[in-house]
Amino acid sequence: MATFFQRIVSAIFFLLKNSKRLLMTTIILVAVILIIGKTYQSWDDDPHRGAIAIDNGAFGESYSTPVYLDQGWSKSDSLWFYNTTQGSALLPYDFFIALENETSKELFRSNKNVDKYRYLPQKSTFFNPDALPVGFVKDVYQNKEYVGYTCAACHTSQINYDGKAIRIDGGPAMADMVTFLHDLEKSLQATLDDENKKERFVEKVIALDNDFSDKESIVNSLNEWTETRRLYNTINHSHIKYGYARLDAFGRIYNRVLQHMISKPQLKNAMQLVLSPKGRRVLTNDQIDKVLGNVGENIIVDKQFSLILERLSSKKSGYPALNQKNILRVIKQVFNEANAPVSYPFLWDIAQSDYVQWNGVANNSGVGPLGRNTGEVIGVFGILDWSAHEKDGFSLSASLSGQKKLEEQVDFKSSINLTNLRRLETHLKSLTSPMWPEEILGSIDMNKATRGQVTYSQYCQSCHAVVDRKNWNRLVVAQMTGLEHIGTDKAAAVNGVAYSGKSGNFKNTVQGLGVGDVVIQETAPVIQILTSATKGVIATPDADKIFIRRWADRIYDIGSSFFNNTMPNTIKSGNYIADTTSQPYNSLLAYKGRSLNGIWATAPYLHNGSVPTLYDLLLPADKCETGDDYGEYRPTVFNVGSREFDVKKVGFRTKGYEGFKFTTHRDGDKNIGHDYGACENSQLYSKKLGTSELTPLPALTPEQRMDLIEYMKTL
């Protein structure tokens, strides 16, 4: 023992004696690692960035190999963004590679099929050897390979015009993720049901020689993943059809958190409320106890929730065999309907914006971007290996998530890759908005644009500031406008505040808000539960790294996000109701106005994608409050899905093809509000020359609308 301590002391003295040499060696090693990492990041530099031409694709569209505009990114920058993992696990990787369509032998991942959902087909490149579409990538977690989403799946767009295609980095995707996920479930189930499909599938997976080597393990895993995807689709059923170009991401993130945080007693109580009410008993308490079985007391995870629903519908072993109606009643008691889809926001200027998301919920200062991106991966299939355990000394995760005084604490182990999330956010700082390509889309009439600039300054600029797209130090201030003023569809903003659920282990923990601290109650706003869970994930080291590296990376990720983020921590700007101690989320009942540079490339418009073109956005949804009838209104029915561009109205083609039929009469789909310039508007004033008298601005004339559109092409 003495010899051991003597060696330790000698080693310490040696290190002290050679500290300068050691420090210099460490600095050199770190520099070498950074250089190698940066060099590796630039290895994929395909001249077309992996993009390919399509002949007779969805809706009869054909286009040549897409071109790129100058957005501040090189070829390797785009490809790194497309193929950098964030910890998403949609399906085992080999399953996705081998899976066939539900009704044919065609691979589910074929270019023809992914184009149908409006994802963007790619060819094989260095970082994408299997030619996955933009935003799909191989991810590795706990030594197993998965296919998952990257940021690019929802934030890369394309515009087609006259046989040519323009790829827009950071643009809002046209993707129909919901139909894709439902068809994925159907294809998985068809593979289980059709023996020939199953045999072909098994042969292909075994031939890949990765995570699976025998038929039994493949079929068992196929069953498990089919149920996982079915559970997700069932939980997130909505009477509002999303169609192309939008998703209720918040509703789905909320539901994933509730699925993983609810405790066994809370789930039992929820089941009792809908299955054992007085006078209409469906199940007895004993039957409910049997269904719940031996699931964890403090937290219920993916597989356990799937098992519970399976038991509810099963006739085996004395389970109740409930009909689908009663099972849906249980689901509705636990989860919230994800019925407020919004357009995928564009990403340029996101790193320079003080508040992000349509309702301004995410403060972009400090570690805000890390929390925002962590929440996003929770929603897009990060593996949440959350589990409860007895308190065992200090836990950073428990401390940040409010659990430090609890005897039972949730461990937020997950596949979420915080290091890459931080790197992706940094990468976006150099992305700039696309400029209107006159050589493809036609020349801008600068006489009209000059007149339109004057109109813009009167009608638009108070909420939509004009910024220098290439100014590295630009700051984009979100102008929040309360629902009562902007008048647009309320569903997304209201759901974000009003949706509630069971808080699980967070019950009676304390969370700090801008107006003070609150106690998270058993039934709590989901935004509180998500906030605490996100903090727990951020503070939990990466399980795939060795001890020293996992803690070093986590400390660096958090520290770098905080200290290198120059975004000031400011209050929100705009015309909204402020948060109070009794209503701490008032400010979220609003929508954000942001800079409109690159707006020409981001159709459809309004936060919920309910207006197809810029021209239509400048029209009223109906007769104005003044009773004026201008004879032309926003369309109430139009098609979505085509990438063919309308250069006059500035948006995508809405007629002449069988796309998704968008109707605007339901909450969540309404095309109302934001009628600045469409009607005489009492919220916009002009001053009479030579006087202090203010008069409401009149509705735009048809000529002013076209001038304004021409100016917005220049932004």
User: What would the pLDDT profile of 6-57 be if each residue is shown by its tens digit?
Assistant: 554 455 455 455 656 655 655 565 455 556 666 667 788 899 999 999 999 9
Which string of DSSP letters, residue by residue, matches 609-648?
A: S-B-BHHHHTS-SSS-TT----S----SEEEE---BEETT
Cis peptide leading into residue 277 (ω within 30°)? no
In a domain, 53, yes or no: no
The reply to whether 139 and 208 lie within a common domain is yes
Q: How far is CA 587 from the centre of its chain?
A: 21
Domain with 402, as residue range(s), is: 342-447+472-591
Tell me the pLDDT tens digit for each residue of 368-392.
889 999 999 999 999 999 988 888 8
Q: Region 110-132: what's the mean pLDDT? A: 97
The reply to whether 261 and 289 lie within a common domain is yes
In a domain, 453, yes or no: no
- Using the 3D structure, point to which of 201, 235, 269 is the last residue of a domain: 235
In a domain, 210, yes or no: yes
Q: Region 100-121: what's the mean pLDDT? A: 97
Per cent of the chain over pLDDT 70 is 91
The reply to whether 440 and 543 lie within a common domain is yes
- Using the 3D structure, point to which of 235, 258, 288 is the last residue of a domain: 235
pLDDT at 8: 45
pLDDT at 12: 47
The reply to whether 391 and 533 lie within a common domain is yes
Report the chain's mean pLDDT, rounded to a whole number: 90
456-491 burial, b if ≥16 CB within 10 A, otherwise e? Answer: bebbbeebbbbbebeeeebebbbbbbbbebbbbbbb
pLDDT at 289: 86
Domain count, the chain: 5
Q: What is the CA radius of gyration of the chain?
A: 27
| 3-class secondary structure per residue, 154-207 | CCEEEEEECCEEEEEECCCCCCCHHHHHHHHHHHHHHHHHCHHHHHHHHHHHHH
The reply to whether 272 and 364 lie within a common domain is no
The reply to whether 652 and 557 lie within a common domain is no
Q: Region 491-504: what's the mean pLDDT? A: 96
The reply to whether 6 and 96 lie within a common domain is no
Instruction: Place 101 in a pLDDT band, splitting at 50, 70 and 90.
Output: very high
Q: Region 383-407: what's the mean pLDDT? A: 90
Given a cut of 60, whether residue 236 has pLDDT beyond it is yes
The reply to whether 98 and 193 lie within a common domain is yes
pLDDT at 5: 44
pLDDT at 470: 87
In a domain, 241, yes or no: no
pLDDT at 696: 80
Give CA–CA dist 5/678, Å, rounded: 81
Tell me the pLDDT tens digit for each residue of 582-592.
999 999 999 99
Give CA–CA dist 387/409, Å, rounded: 8
Given a cut of 70, whether residue 688 has pLDDT beyond it is no
In a domain, 240, yes or no: no
Residue type, 236: N
- Using the 3D structure, point to which of 544, 568, 591 is the last residue of a domain: 591
Which string of DSSP letters, residue by residue, matches 73-129?
A: --HHHHHHHHH---SB-SEEHHHHHHPBPTTSSSBTTSHHHHHHTT---B--BTTBT
In a domain, 493, yes or no: yes
pLDDT at 28: 61
Q: Greater confidence, 289 or 140?
A: 140
The reply to whether 503 and 362 lie within a common domain is yes
Q: Region 352-370: what's the mean pLDDT? A: 91
In a domain, 329, yes or no: yes
Q: How far is CA 343 from the centre of its chain?
A: 10
Q: Region 110-129: what's the mean pLDDT? A: 97
Given a cut of 80, whether residue 303 has pLDDT beyond it is no
In a domain, 511, yes or no: yes
Q: How many CB atoms are closer than 10 A to CB 13?
A: 10
Name the one residue in this structure whose structure tokens are 């849906």: 328
The reply to whether 643 and 673 lie within a common domain is yes
The tokens describing 602, both together, are: 């981001």
Identify the CA nearest to 489 among candidates 385, 340, 356, 602.
340
Name the one residue in this structure whose structure tokens are 């950074």: 34
The reply to whether 489 and 558 lie within a common domain is yes
351-389 burial, b if ≥16 CB within 10 A, otherwise e? Answer: bbbbbbbbbbbbbbeebbbbbbbbbbbbbbbbbbbbebe
The reply to whether 201 and 79 lie within a common domain is yes
| Sheet strand arrangement including 136-141 | 91-92, 144-149, 136-141
